[in-house]
């Protein structure tokens, strides 16, 4: 059985915030997780005002609600 991964991007977080020592952390996390045998799809959930490079990545979606609420999970389950 494969396990899907959800990376939650909080409000007011920019790509600058997601970068440490010139490493874009979501890409680094995805690469590290991707080598595991049971990894399924990696999804990225961001607020509607996010305008960073993750918006071009497969599995990315804008969430409607503020975060961990029923709308987020219904939207994610509809995508999978």
How far is 49 from 73, CA to CA, in rounded Å?
19
What six digits make up the tokens of 77? 């389950």
Residue 66 pLDDT greater than 70, yes or no: no
Is the distance from CB of 46 to CB of 26 less than 8 angstroms?
A: no
Residue 68 pLDDT greater than 80, yes or no: no
pTM attached to this predicted model? 0.79
Cα separations in angstroms, 37 against 2, 15, 28, 42, 57 = 8, 29, 17, 13, 21
Give the β-pairing of 39-46 and 3-8. Answer: parallel
The 10s digit of each residue's pLDDT in 3-61 is: 888 888 998 999 999 999 999 999 999 899 888 888 888 989 899 999 999 999 998 98
Give the β-pairing of 19-20 and 60-62. Answer: unpaired
Domain ranges of the chain: 3-79
């Amino acid at each position: 059985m494969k396990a899907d991964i959800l990376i939650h991007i909080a409000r007011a977080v920019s790509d600058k915030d997601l970068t440490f020592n010139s490493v874009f952390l979501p890409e680094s996390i995805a690469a590290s997780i991707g080598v595991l045998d049971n990894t399924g799809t990696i999804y990225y959930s961001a607020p509607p005002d996010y305008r960073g490079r993750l918006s071009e990545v497969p599995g990315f979606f804008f969430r409607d609600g503020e975060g961990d609420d029923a709308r987020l999970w219904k939207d994610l389950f509809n995508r999978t």
